[in-house]
Chain A
Amino acid sequence: MRRNADFRQGCDDLVESPTPARFTRRSLLRAAVFSPRDSSYQKLWDPREASARTAITGTVADVSPHIIVLHTAQGEQRLALSPRTTAWRGTAVAPAALHKDDHVIVRHHATHSVAERVWAQIGRVAGTIIETNGGTLLIDEGPAKGRKIVLIDKGAHQQIQVKFPRLEPGYLIDVIGLRQQGYLQALAPATYQPPYRAEHPPAPPMINGHIPVPVTGTAVWHEPGEEPPGLLGVAYPALDPETDCESAQFAAEPETEPHAVDPHTVGPGCVRLPYLSVGSAVRIHNECADRSAVLPVTGCGAAARLFCDRCVECGTSPRGRLADLTMTAFVELGGNLEKGCFNATLTIAG
């Protein structure tokens, strides 16, 4: 089912590269030629103090009505639960209903160790439908992420079908649900289905001169996969095809994979973004929460080009996905994972 091991060799990727430090050094090397425009660019890759973070990723070690204990990469962390703390585990639940060993991501107050929101076992699959078998779908998330199995929950089938009427090979799907062993139990649509087949996203309008900045559109999130937990970064949809993310040579054979779509070959998507590289820095602003951050480009998000959709989290955004954020980055920027997106603006930092 998966042949992404070969695909991945074609892309620069922070996680996959045998020498990831060369990406982290690029901001310094660049600064040897040009003055940094943004002071936060300097500390882009610095590990932050735990207290400086508002999102924590880990597994539940223990939970009671008043406290949640997490196993994290930095060790055990305790967070207080208040009556205003909300939790999600497939649906809104009481925090005490979370299970031991659940993978969770917690947004807490910046200065107090009080959990604000907790998401448990949340997962997402966005890509092209390759095969269907009743409520079970095989989804291709592009060369960088490979393929995943989605099982649409019976109770959510109607809700998903309203926004994704074409659950057929060749069409796009983007669903959120509970991560299970080897598959995603889809519980809600993340967006709505674009009306075109995956290989035919609309072309962006032509632009003369320079690309206008900031660019406005949609920011979404992706499952961490093999990324380290807590990575703050963004999978950028427009990596330089010459040096970063061109995988046409590893593209699926059309005879054997009639519905597989290589997102690098379908054009720039419906929003024009400047070409960047892994290690570049972008400033993402969440217009809904009015929060922004400078984030490093940590991987290839070419699959986001296929989705020419809008986010209606706070008003209607222009079409097109600007950034595919890591879960931690999405939560730190004030996004709610179960919503799937926020209206965003993107500028090039550094």
Chain B
Amino acid sequence: MGVSGLFTGDWVSDLLTAARGIQLLVLAALLLGACAAKARRVISGHSLAAATGPTGMFPVRLRGPIAIALSVLEFALGAGLLITAGRIGAGPPALVIRSLTALLFGTAVAALYELRGRQPDAGCGCFGDLSHTPVSWRALARAAVLCLAAIATIGLPPLHPPESARQAWLVLVLLAVELAVLALLSPEIGEIMVRLGYSEPCEVRRLPVSRTLSALRGSGHWRRYRRYLTSQEPVDVWREGCWRYVVFPAMLASRRVEVVFAVYLKPRRAPVRAGIFDATADRRAREAAEGTAVTVVVPAPRTVPASRYAAAGRPAPGQAPSGQAPSGEVPSGLGTSGHAVPVMLSAQAHGASRRLPHPIPVHRVPHNRQRHSAGL
């Protein structure tokens, strides 16, 4: 085909007819997709009424019913466009469905424009949770393009399969171009790309303590320190960001110490670090430095029946699950009386632990602190 042949009357007619036919499929897909995205939001436990979008401009009591009505309308129009695309429903039913679709998108343009003025940080809510970015000119342009597309379908004869390879290619090329334009105008595409490549930050990753303990017990640090531990159950477990700390009581060179393991919150091959805390030496160092015992005021403890914890299936805080007493560094009377608890707070604390005559090989690290690293 020569260049002049591209613009013959038949070819242009084919092009326009194919373009109008494609709109039916695109509009139906978008309407059904929007309805499905909203349904997914409801299924995942969120309220449809709480979704962002133009429904947010209505009184609270009307938001739910309006959101439901909108979703039902989207489904009805999407299904109706498909059903009336062929010979079934051709004529007045197709005219009504396509006119209503054009009216819906025309209303959407006005509603989004109004929403942008009233609530600049509200998303359009077109595709449920995917549409939370504030309404921009892209969302407005997309609604306008879809409104024009719906208008273009009014009066379109029933669709039929392509009669030639050329027509089939034409349809495919037009479809690709239209989808590219819509993708360009859709902020949801960026959100989808983020979700596809999403890796949850370790700071908010939820990993059970049992996984942490499994990772710890498979580590070299555990094998190194295990023989010094006086209990195989931790006396304290807590988390800070990407690390979970597990504390075990231990006996080193006839002194009661605590071995602190830090386990990175990673599903597999979690790095582990370890350190030793000698509270007695630490207290002496602190008192020697300051000439007095250091006290910390803590609230009066509340006596909690152990049965409450047993009922909840968890050990009482500070109590070793095996029934052994917590580490000897915490005064035994703490749980029932005193307000002032001797606690060692000192930058020299770590220097104190250096005096331990224990046989464990250590790596010297800056700040003269004893630390064993798994080599992150």
Among listed B156-164, B180-188, B327-335, interface-contacting one: B327-335
**Does B105 have its Cβ within 8 Å of any Cβ on chain A?**
no
**Does A100 have its Cβ within 8 Å of any Cβ on chain B?**
no
What does the 1/0 interface line of B296-314 toward A look like (CB < 8 Å)? 1111111110001100110
CB–CB B298/A20 < 8 A: yes
CB–CB B238/A279 < 8 A: yes
CB–CB B297/A20 < 8 A: no
A275 vs B206: C-alpha distance when bound (angstroms): 9
Residue from the set B129, B238, B297 with the largest chain A CB neighbour count within 10 Å: B238
**Does B203 have its Cβ within 8 Å of any Cβ on chain A?**
yes
* Total chain A interface residues with beta-carbon distance under 8 A: 73
CB contacts (< 8 Å) of B334 on chain A: these are 19-21
**Does A231 have its Cβ within 8 Å of any Cβ on chain B?**
yes
CB–CB A22/B318 < 8 A: yes
Contacting residues of chain A (266-310) with chain B, CB-CB under 8 angstroms: 268, 272-280
CB contacts (< 8 Å) of A350 on chain B: these are 240
| Least Cβ–Cβ distance between B271 and chain A, in angstroms | 12
Residue from the set B46, B282, B349, B365 with the largest chain A CB neighbour count within 10 Å: B46
Q: What residue in chain A is nearest B276 (Cβ atoms)?
A: A32
**Does A163 have its Cβ within 8 Å of any Cβ on chain B?**
no
**Does A52 have its Cβ within 8 Å of any Cβ on chain B?**
no
A228 vs B296: C-alpha distance when bound (angstroms): 13
**Does B341 have its Cβ within 8 Å of any Cβ on chain A?**
yes
**Does A31 have its Cβ within 8 Å of any Cβ on chain B?**
yes
CB–CB A33/B245 < 8 A: yes
CB–CB A275/B299 < 8 A: no
| Least Cβ–Cβ distance between B19 and chain A, in angstroms | 36
Among listed B73-81, B142-150, B193-201, interface-contacting one: B193-201
Q: What residue in chain A is nearest B273 (Cβ atoms)?
A: A33
Q: What residue in chain B is nearest A44 (Cβ atoms)?
A: B345
| Least Cβ–Cβ distance between A307 and chain B, in angstroms | 14
What does the 1/0 interface line of B280-305 toward A look like (CB < 8 Å)? 00100000000000111111111110
Q: What residue in chain B is nearest A25 (Cβ atoms)?
A: B343
**Does A93 have its Cβ within 8 Å of any Cβ on chain B?**
no
Among listed B6-14, B82-90, B366-374, interface-contacting one: B366-374
CB–CB A29/B47 < 8 A: no
A10, A19, A31, A202: the one contacting B350 at CB < 8 Å is A31
Q: What residue in chain B is nearest A297 (Cβ atoms)?
A: B240
CB contacts (< 8 Å) of B313 on chain A: these are 249
CB contacts (< 8 Å) of A26 on chain B: these are 236, 238, 245
CB–CB B317/A211 < 8 A: no
CB–CB B239/A276 < 8 A: yes
CB–CB A18/B349 < 8 A: no
CB–CB B56/A195 < 8 A: yes
**Does A2 have its Cβ within 8 Å of any Cβ on chain B?**
no
| Least Cβ–Cβ distance between B8 and chain A, in angstroms | 51
CB–CB A32/B260 < 8 A: yes
**Does A214 have its Cβ within 8 Å of any Cβ on chain B?**
no
Q: What bracket does the count of chain B residues touching chain A fall in?
A: 35 or more
CB–CB A275/B346 < 8 A: no
**Does A131 have its Cβ within 8 Å of any Cβ on chain B?**
no
Q: What residue in chain B is nearest A171 (Cβ atoms)?
A: B60
CB–CB B262/A33 < 8 A: yes
Q: Given A14-B298, A32-B277 in contact, is the A9-B240 Cβ separation under 8 Å?
A: no
CB contacts (< 8 Å) of B52 on chain A: these are 202
Contacting residues of chain A (129-172) with chain B, CB-CB under 8 angstroms: 165-166
CB–CB B318/A17 < 8 A: yes
Residue from the set A10, A12, A32, A42 with the largest chain B CB neighbour count within 10 Å: A32
A203 vs B294: C-alpha distance when bound (angstroms): 45
CB contacts (< 8 Å) of A32 on chain B: these are 258, 260, 275-277, 349-350, 353, 369-371
Among listed A56-64, A177-185, A236-244, A254-262, interface-contacting one: A236-244
| Least Cβ–Cβ distance between B344 and chain A, in angstroms | 6
A35 vs B341: C-alpha distance when bound (angstroms): 25
**Does B204 have its Cβ within 8 Å of any Cβ on chain A?**
yes
CB contacts (< 8 Å) of A22 on chain B: these are 235-236, 317-318, 326, 330
A31, A46, A280: the one contacting B294 at CB < 8 Å is A46
Q: Given A18-B304, A35-B367, A272-B204 in contact, is the A46-B345 Cβ separation under 8 Å?
A: yes
B129, B195, B241, B350: the one contacting A274 at CB < 8 Å is B241
| Least Cβ–Cβ distance between A282 and chain B, in angstroms | 10
| Least Cβ–Cβ distance between B210 and chain A, in angstroms | 9
CB–CB B301/A18 < 8 A: yes
CB contacts (< 8 Å) of B206 on chain A: these are 241-242
CB–CB B239/A208 < 8 A: no
A348 vs B294: C-alpha distance when bound (angstroms): 25
Q: What residue in chain A is nearest B317 (Cβ atoms)?
A: A17
Q: Given A22-B317, A208-B194, A277-B239 in contact, is the A17-B274 Cβ separation under 8 Å?
A: no
CB contacts (< 8 Å) of A240 on chain B: these are 238-239, 244
A148 vs B342: C-alpha distance when bound (angstroms): 36
**Does B39 have its Cβ within 8 Å of any Cβ on chain A?**
no
A27, A28, A206, A274: the one contacting B203 at CB < 8 Å is A274
A273 vs B261: C-alpha distance when bound (angstroms): 24
Q: What residue in chain B is nearest A281 (Cβ atoms)?
A: B240
What does the 1/0 interface line of B198-242 toward A look like (CB < 8 Å)? 110111101111000000000000000000000000011111111
Sample of 18 A–B contacts (CB below 8 Å) = A12-B317, A15-B302, A19-B318, A19-B326, A24-B341, A32-B260, A32-B369, A32-B371, A33-B275, A33-B371, A165-B60, A203-B129, A208-B198, A231-B299, A241-B206, A250-B312, A274-B203, A277-B238
In order of increasing CB-CB distance, the 6 nearest A-B pairs are: A19-B318, A274-B203, A32-B275, A277-B238, A33-B275, A240-B239
